[in-house]
């Protein structure tokens, strides 16, 4: 296991956000939100990313997350709300909090927990629940959903007080029940809440979290920064680093999105010289097909990039007539948490999208 202690500077933060945006696979929030959170964290204090070997195995670790619809117009979460969530969580726990991890990688998600880490002086541990973005809280629970009798505490805060949308929720109980409450809170808050959840001893991370997932985001982001004006160079270097495969270069012929249960659900039809491609998404891109043939299935990473600028586009940012590049990274090249290996958690994806997922994902 690689050992490191990385001081987060503005440049490292930008690399982390850009790499996180890529690993978001269509979800994980926007890079604008991610940079805002990173900049706020850097104002609050020194921020250091440490590898798993830097913490005591008996320390209590909590997960930081953001839950909601990336396309929601009224979504709002402030730094003050992040601080308040931590203070409430600390008061509820029987014991000190020894570290914090993010639930996933994404343009915003990669920075989950950074404000709390800088403010409270607790370690930011490079052991995200998942090294790529995913739609449900259970998928980011590191397999806790499979432990009979595990009870969690989730605190969710969000919403613009000027619009009368601010909400604070404390939910204790099973993962599924509390996650449902938090998802509903996100809807009531205007589309987004910051969440702290799932206290575990640090030793649990070793075999269940995506160890090194944030460093992978930073390494990928450095490639984007290195070749800012040369998209082909980015694609070439990433193909060598993580076996990225360019699937199609084409135009968005049709794009549909709807908000359902606090998620963004939809599909993208891409027109290319060799035929038609279709992508479905449930926040994150779930399937990629060519003329009905399945080419990639979540948790494979499917990413859309602007052909002109090379910027990664999330599922909420696409629009018809966009010229895009669609790329794929096989799940074997990603750092995945235990939630990506539980078939039961993929059943909901099939229900929402009315697509076969489990058959291709396992």
**Within this chain, do residues 175 and 320 fall inside the same structural domain, yes or no?**
no
**Within this chain, do residues 21 and 157 fall inside the same structural domain, yes or no?**
yes
What pLDDT score does 70 carry? 78
> Is 18 within a domain?
yes
Spatial distance between the Cα atoms of 125 and 101, rounded to a whole number of angstroms: 5
What pLDDT score does 71 carry? 80
Q: How many CA atoms lie within 13 A of 28 on its CB side?
A: 39
C-alpha torsion angle, residues 51, 13, 330, 207 (rounded to 10): 20
What pLDDT score does 68 carry? 86
Number of domains in the chain: 2
Per the CB < 8 A criterion, the answer to whether 177 and 54 are in contact is no
pLDDT interval class at 339 (50, 70, 90): very high
What pLDDT score does 261 carry? 83
Spatial distance between the Cα atoms of 187 and 346, rounded to a whole number of angstroms: 22
Task: Give the model confidence (pLDDT) of 210-264 as tens digits.
Answer: 999 999 999 999 999 999 989 999 999 999 999 999 999 999 999 999 988 889 9
* SS3 label, residue 67: strand
What average pLDDT does the segment 29-39 reach?
Answer: 95
**Within this chain, do residues 179 and 261 fall inside the same structural domain, yes or no?**
no
Could you tell me what percent of the chain has a pLDDT over 90? 94
> Is 112 within a domain?
yes
> Is 130 within a domain?
yes
**Within this chain, do residues 197 and 304 fall inside the same structural domain, yes or no?**
no
Per the CB < 8 A criterion, the answer to whether 59 and 202 are in contact is yes
Per the CB < 8 A criterion, the answer to whether 137 and 175 are in contact is yes
**Within this chain, do residues 202 and 265 fall inside the same structural domain, yes or no?**
no
pLDDT higher than threshold 90 for residue 332: yes
**Within this chain, do residues 124 and 273 fall inside the same structural domain, yes or no?**
no
**Within this chain, do residues 49 and 197 fall inside the same structural domain, yes or no?**
yes
- State the pTM of this model: 0.95
CATH, residue 270: 2.40.390.10
End-to-end CA distance of the chain: 27
**Within this chain, do residues 205 and 238 fall inside the same structural domain, yes or no?**
no
> Is 69 within a domain?
yes
Task: Give the model confidence (pLDDT) of 146-195 as tens digits.
Answer: 999 999 999 999 999 999 999 999 999 999 999 999 999 999 999 999 99
> Is 352 within a domain?
no
Q: Which domain holds residue 314?
A: 231-334
Task: Give the model confidence (pLDDT) of 59-106 as tens digits.
Answer: 999 999 999 887 888 999 999 999 999 999 999 997 789 999 999 999
**Within this chain, do residues 204 and 258 fall inside the same structural domain, yes or no?**
no
CATH, residue 77: 3.40.1610.10
Task: Give the model confidence (pLDDT) of 122-148 as tens digits.
Answer: 999 999 999 999 999 999 999 999 999
**Within this chain, do residues 101 and 164 fall inside the same structural domain, yes or no?**
yes
**Within this chain, do residues 279 and 207 fall inside the same structural domain, yes or no?**
no
What pLDDT score does 351 carry? 96
> Is 285 within a domain?
yes
Write down which residue in 171, 187, 213 finishes a domain: 213
Q: Is the dihedral of CA 275, 361, 193, 265 positive or negative?
A: positive
Tokens of 225: 């920064």
What average pLDDT does the segment 303-308 reach?
Answer: 96
**Within this chain, do residues 12 and 145 fall inside the same structural domain, yes or no?**
yes
Quick one: three-class SS letters along 171-231? EEECHHHHHHHHHHHHHHCCCEEEEEEEEEEHHHHCCCCCCCHHHHHHHHHHHHHHCCCCH
> Is 351 within a domain?
no
What pLDDT score does 65 carry? 96
What pLDDT score does 102 carry? 98
> Is 26 within a domain?
yes
The conformation of residue 324, written as its DSSP 8-state character, comes to: E
Average pLDDT of the residues of the chain: 96
């Amino acid at each position: 296991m690689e050992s490191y202690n990385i001081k987060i500077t503005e440049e490292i933060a930008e690399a982390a956000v850009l790499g996180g945006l890529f690993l978001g696979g269509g979800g994980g929030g926007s890079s604008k939100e991610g940079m805002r959170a990173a900049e706020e964290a850097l104002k609050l204090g020194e921020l250091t990313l440490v590898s798993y070997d830097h913490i005591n195995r008996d320390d209590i670790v909590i997960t930081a997350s953001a839950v909601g619809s990336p396309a929601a117009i009224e979504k709002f979460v402030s730094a003050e709300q992040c601080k308040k969530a931590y203070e409430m969580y600390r008061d509820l726990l029987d014991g000190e909090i020894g570290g914090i991890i993010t639930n996933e990688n994404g343009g915003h998600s990669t920075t989950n927990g950074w404000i709390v880490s800088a403010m409270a002086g607790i370690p930011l541990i490079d052991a995200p629940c998942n090294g790529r973005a995913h739609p449900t809280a259970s998928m980011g629970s590191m397999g806790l959903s499979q432990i009979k009798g595990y009870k969690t505490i989730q605190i969710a805060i969000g919403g613009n007080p000027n619009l009368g949308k601010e909400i604070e929720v404390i939910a204790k109980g099973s993962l599924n029940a509390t996650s449902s409450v938090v998802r509903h809170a996100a809807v009531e808050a205007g589309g987004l809440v910051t969440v702290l959840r799932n206290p575990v001893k640090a030793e649990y991370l070793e075999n269940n979290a995506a160890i090194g997932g944030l460093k992978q985001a930073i390494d990928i982001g450095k490639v984007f920064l290195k070749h800012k004006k040369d998209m082909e160079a980015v694609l070439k270097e990433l193909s060598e680093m993580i076996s990225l495969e360019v699937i199609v270069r084409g135009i968005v012929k049709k794009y549909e999105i709807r908000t359902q249960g606090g998620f963004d659900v939809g599909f993208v039809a891409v027109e290319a010289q060799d035929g038609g491609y279709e992508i479905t998404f449930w926040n994150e891109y779930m399937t990629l097909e060519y003329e009905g043939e399945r080419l990639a299935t979540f948790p494979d990473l499917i990413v859309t990039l602007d052909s002109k600028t090379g910027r990664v586009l999330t599922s909420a940012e696409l629009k018809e007539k966009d010229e895009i590049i669609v790329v794929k990274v096989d799940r074997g090249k990603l750092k995945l948490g235990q939630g990506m290996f539980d078939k039961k958690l993929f059943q909901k994806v099939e229900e929402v999208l009315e697509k076969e997922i489990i058959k291709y994902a396992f």
